[in-house]
Amino acid sequence: MSYFLPNKPQGRLIIVAYRLPFKIEEKNGQTKMVQNSGGLVSAVLSLTKGPNSTLFAPHQKCQWIGFGDSEFSAADQRDLQTEDFVAHPVFLDKQIQENYYEGFCNNLLWPLCHYFPSLARFEDRYYQAYHVANEAIFSRLVQVIRPGDVVWVHDYQLMLLPAMVRARFPEQKIGFFFHIPFPSFEVFRLLPVSWRKSLIDGVLGADLIGFHTNDYAEYFLKTAWLVSGYNNKLHYIHIENRVAKADAFPISIDFEKFAGAYSDPEIGLARLEIKKALPFKIIFSVDRLDYSKGIIHRLRGFRQFLHNCPEWHGRISLVMVVVPSRDTIEQYQQMKSEIDQTVGTINADFGSINWQPVIYQYRSMTFTELSAMYTASDVALVTPVRDGMNLVCKEYVASRADGKGVLILSEMAGAAAELGEALIINPLDAQDTAEAIRTALVMPEPEQAKRMQLMRDRIRDYDVFTWTADFFAQMNMLDMEQNRLRQTYLNDSSTKLIRSAYESSSRRILFFDYDGTLAPIVPDPASAFMPEEIKTLIRRISERDTTVIVSGRDRGFLDRQFHGFKIGMIAEHGALVKDLDQQQWRLNENCDMDWKQSVLPILQTYVQRCPGAFVEDKETSLAWHYRNVEDELYATRRAQELLWQLKIYLQPDLNLQILDGNKVLEIKKTDFNKGTSARAFLESGPYDFILAIGDDVTDEDLFRAMPESAFTIKVGDDMSLARYHIKNQGGVSQLLAVLARGNDQLN
């Protein structure tokens, strides 16, 4: 996989996350920084030191801002650095910390994003503390940041921060990554209106917003639209004068670290010890104590398996390690007692003096122990009821350098989107889990190896280093695209520029789209007429300059609207052309219309399925309009469905194309478009002033066909190739008036 990496490093990398990348240990009265071994830390290191280090200024340590505990407060800032990182700890008042972290983060955002709304607590004091905590981090960042630095904010604890940075430092490059699931709008909307808006607006302060899966990115895009009114196209979101992007970047692991562990002698010894102690099939699970991890459901599935398969009694054990976490919270304590009890009951009901079905440990493991368990076990049971990604399953797969082992994976983990060769289960379904355990235990080794190989290749190709490189490559590309994507609205100075170019030129050509540009969009297309003011202005302009109407309309309609004008016309998206002399229409090609018979019935079906939609049968095309459908969201979905079906259904040799226009899908022959027909007009003379204006997706062909020097203008705020935007159709007449005035002075 190759990525775009810029040659010119700009600034430093500033990571902002809840936790700092190291712990402080005290030895002989001296403080020592011990770097965390987590994936994010080494991934970040690869950005400032490894093959991707050209992304940032050379020889600069990574700056890392996060919350510090009491050990940090005792340390001097000068000591808070290692060879690679400089830590900037932020301290919170104990009460604020509690309301912020235990409260808003873990009693509200965490359960909500993991689809446990009944556990969510909506307290005002939590929200206030969340603000204070984000502001405290921001104040520290202000002391650290320099122009050109890139800020990368992590996770649900800091959703307000990107907007704070954007407001103070509008030009700063900001990335944001959300490590947990982003829920569907139906769940996110449970938050109070002002809270959900500030969270979404907060995140939208970033340039690039990353999620683990495409689903989460889509949920976020929809939420951003419904909560804050920002529309998106192809993952790009238009926010006033800039463009942000939300996309999927599935986090991964340091593949080689886990793959290499298999042949590490110390790990090999530990593996032998395990196999000696448990001389039968081993099923392994490890996770933090959390209701999202599905620990109780896993035990139910295992119990069901023991019930279904007595032949396996005495021949397997489930080694279940639960790592202590948040156990000061009452909910977590209750969950722990429930786990203790369930394990006890299973062992009592099915075990014997010689055999314990569940070996349960409530503790954390060293890396050696963990790798030994990964490589010793026959089956890994990863069954979260919700998980942003889940790295344990990727680590298990990477560790199996021997090609053995079976992964059972919950469909609710983000990782399931990438690891389709695992046995995918619904963790809430005990029978499904039990059946998968049985299948895993009898899976032949060649089958295990085949599945492992495919999953291992995939994780090796997209490891945590590729993940960071991918994120920053996208960030740089977005930076380069900004100018093209940015919506520059026509203002006084650009209008003046156009006017003076107009006045100083001698041979001018102007292209105008009709619907949505010269005439407002109205429910009945037959009554979309130009306001008198616009009609007069166009007449005045066309008397002096070459003026061309470029429309999707049929020729009869255009003839009626521009009767008596000295004007060129392009109808049906370029299929028909009428030159300035107004003599006759020319058909762009020999349009064989037989294809219509096969398309019309599909369009009519969608008229039935989407009340309010209608079909327009034009001379050279068919159009399915949905501008009159009341429920816009529903209509847009139906349009996408129809688009998809047409793409599948239409035979390639029909040479048809589908134009996804403004509330219309139009099907026509491929060999022409608004741009190709406009070019023929352009070639008719050496023009020194060229202007093209339109509102529709099909007008992008027109803009693309224009030379660099042309003034291209998009009506509306959708993404466009045009140089300028005008907010809405109402703004067009002002521009025409300026041109017509220029026109008058020239006359």
Q: Rounded to 10 degrees, what is the CA torsion of 268, 272, 273, 275?
A: 140
CA distances 161 to 29, 112, 134, 189, 204, Å, are 36, 20, 6, 21, 10
Q: How far is the CB of 305 from ligand GDG (least distance, A)?
A: 23
Distance in angstroms (rounded) separating the CA atoms of residues 680 and 566 = 18
| Chain residues in the site for ligand GDG (CB under 6 A) | 179-180, 251, 286, 288, 323, 364-365, 367, 370, 387-392, 395
Backbone angles phi, psi at 30, to 5 degrees: -110, 140
Structure tokens, 682:
């352009």
Q: For residues 105 and 530, which CB has a smaller minimum distance to ligand GDG in the complex?
A: 105
Q: Spell out a b/e string for 551-588, using b for 16 or more CB atoms within 10 Å of the CB, else e.
A: bbbbbebbbebbeebebbbbbbbbbbbbbbebeebeeb
* 3-class secondary-structure state, position 299: helix
Q: How far is the CB of 210 from ligand GDG (least distance, A)?
A: 10
Distance in angstroms (rounded) separating the CA atoms of residues 173 and 165 = 10
DSSP 293: G
Cβ neighbors of 532 (< 8 A, separation 6 or more) are none
Q: For residues 367 and 614, which CB has a smaller minimum distance to ligand GDG in the complex?
A: 367
Q: For residues 160 and 380, which CB has a smaller minimum distance to ligand GDG in the complex?
A: 380
Q: Which class for 424: exposed (0-12), middle (13-18), buried (19 or more C-beta within 10 A)?
A: middle
Distance in angstroms (rounded) separating the CA atoms of residues 745 and 25 = 80
Distance in angstroms (rounded) separating the CA atoms of residues 259 and 371 = 10
Q: How far is the CB of 472 from ligand GDG (least distance, A)?
A: 17
Indicate the residue type of 664: V
| Stretch (H or E) spanning 26 | strand 22-27
Sign of CA dihedral 135, 137, 142, 148: negative
Q: How far is the CB of 556 from ligand GDG (least distance, A)?
A: 60
DSSP 489: B
Q: For residues 201 and 387, which CB has a smaller minimum distance to ligand GDG in the complex?
A: 387
Sign of CA dihedral 704, 710, 715, 721: positive
CA angle (701, 705, 709) in 5-degree steps:
130
- 3-class SS string, 378-426: CEEEECCCCECCCCHHHHHHHHCCCCCCEEEEECCEHHHHCCCCCEEEC
CA distances 417 to 187, 252, 389, 474, 705, Å, are 21, 13, 9, 21, 40
Q: How far is the CB of 58 from ligand GDG (least distance, A)?
A: 29
CA distances 341 to 318, 358, 431, 694, Å, are 16, 12, 21, 68
Cβ neighbors of 248 (< 8 A, separation 6 or more) are 210, 211, 212, 213, 214, 216, 217
Q: For residues 293 and 578, which CB has a smaller minimum distance to ligand GDG in the complex?
A: 293
Q: How far is the CB of 141 from ligand GDG (least distance, A)?
A: 22
Q: For residues 363 and 563, which CB has a smaller minimum distance to ligand GDG in the complex?
A: 363
Strands 621-625 and 614-617: what pairing? antiparallel
From the candidates 513, 545, 696, 701, which is the catalytic residue?
513
Q: For residues 287 and 545, which CB has a smaller minimum distance to ligand GDG in the complex?
A: 287
Q: How far is the CB of 301 from ligand GDG (least distance, A)?
A: 19
| Stretch (H or E) spanning 363 | none
Q: For residues 19 and 238, which CB has a smaller minimum distance to ligand GDG in the complex?
A: 19
Q: How far is the CB of 392 from ligand GDG (least distance, A)?
A: 5
* 3-class secondary-structure state, position 481: helix
| Stretch (H or E) spanning 507 | none
Q: How far is the CB of 554 from ligand GDG (least distance, A)?
A: 55
Q: How far is the CB of 136 from ligand GDG (least distance, A)?
A: 23
Q: How far is the CB of 196 from ligand GDG (least distance, A)?
A: 21
Cβ neighbors of 487 (< 8 A, separation 6 or more) are 238, 241, 243, 714, 717, 720, 725
Q: For residues 70 and 328, which CB has a smaller minimum distance to ligand GDG in the complex?
A: 328
Q: How many CB atoms lie within 10 A of CB 269?
A: 12
Backbone angles phi, psi at 672, to 5 degrees: -150, 160
513 noted as active-site residue: yes
Q: How far is the CB of 495 from ligand GDG (least distance, A)?
A: 48
Q: For residues 179 and 238, which CB has a smaller minimum distance to ligand GDG in the complex?
A: 179
Q: For residues 246 and 391, which CB has a smaller minimum distance to ligand GDG in the complex?
A: 391
| Stretch (H or E) spanning 149 | none
Q: How far is the CB of 555 from ligand GDG (least distance, A)?
A: 58
Q: For residues 209 and 693, which CB has a smaller minimum distance to ligand GDG in the complex?
A: 209
Structure tokens, 379:
């089956």
Q: For residues 47 and 692, which CB has a smaller minimum distance to ligand GDG in the complex?
A: 47
Cβ neighbors of 344 (< 8 A, separation 6 or more) are none
Residues with a catalytic annotation lie at 513
